[in-house]
Structure 1
């Protein structure tokens, strides 16, 4: 199984890194910002740097959509996992075109309100995971797995 882990640096990247027991024995690659925390955490990993800022930035959305097409066509992951933020959107939509399964993990600090990224990928995500039972009111098809922390 080949896994694509995509997300912003900072807390979103930390969420994905905490899933190490799942991804450590898989063929994998990462898509994140070229920032110090990402370079440090992922120093021995295969990483594609995406464009930022991403939130409400149309120019970088277009660039990241082109990047998603190029990377996913080349890498052909079986599954794409993200905990946000906006860079997940083009990777999820392009990934679906290439036949990848998608798993989105809504961030821990959202207890009863959706993120913009969550709202955008919810309709096409194969497994949508929340970390609070209250979030199932927001995302009825979600699976509550509790805290990743």
Structure 2
């Protein structure tokens, strides 16, 4: 199975940002969400184990590899949190385009996930002029 876009996101605000950006009628995509709450399930959604900076991050690398091989995306996008790290790193290994969208709440410094994926992202979007001036690679959007 092949999709244009694989979206890796934590639930809550991170997922809300992704949902605002993508319209199912325009794009062929799949969500990968770190949650055990199936009630937030939508069409084209896979769930993986949550990791709070613990050993479960290794399981997320396994799932990132598994889902990238399964869906063969042309692009992997993440709106954060920690799930961005394994998915963008594995995508980069497969020479797949990677995009990270930093949280709008980050105005003075990047999130931990942002700092870690900054070098693995082909495109890195921020919504803070302070961050635009601080990091050369970022793309500022209002």
User: Does the 8 Å contact 2:79/2:102 carry over to 1?
Assistant: yes
Q: Give runs of ≥4 in structure 1 deviating > 4 Å.
A: none
Q: 1 or 2, which has the higher helix percentage? A: 1
What pairs up with 1:51-66 in 2 under 5 angstroms? 51-52=49-50, 54-57=51-54, 59-66=55-62
SS of residue in 2 equivalent to 1:18 = helix
Say yes or no: does 1:71 pair with 2:67.
yes
- Paired position in structure 2 for 1:10: 12
Structure 1 residues 66-114: Cα deviation after superposition (integer angstroms, max 9, x where no partner) = 0011110111100111110001100001011122101101100010111
Distance 1:26 1:119 in 2: 28
What pairs up with 1:102-121 in 2 under 5 angstroms? 102-121=98-117
TM-score, length-scaled by structure 2: 0.91
Structure 1: gaps (5+ residues): none
Cα distance, 1:35 vs structure 2 = 4.5
User: Does the 8 Å contact 1:50/1:87 carry over to 2?
Assistant: no
Structure 2: gaps (5+ residues): none
Aligned residues: 140
- Paired position in structure 2 for 1:33: 34
The alignment's C-alpha RMSD in Å is 1.6
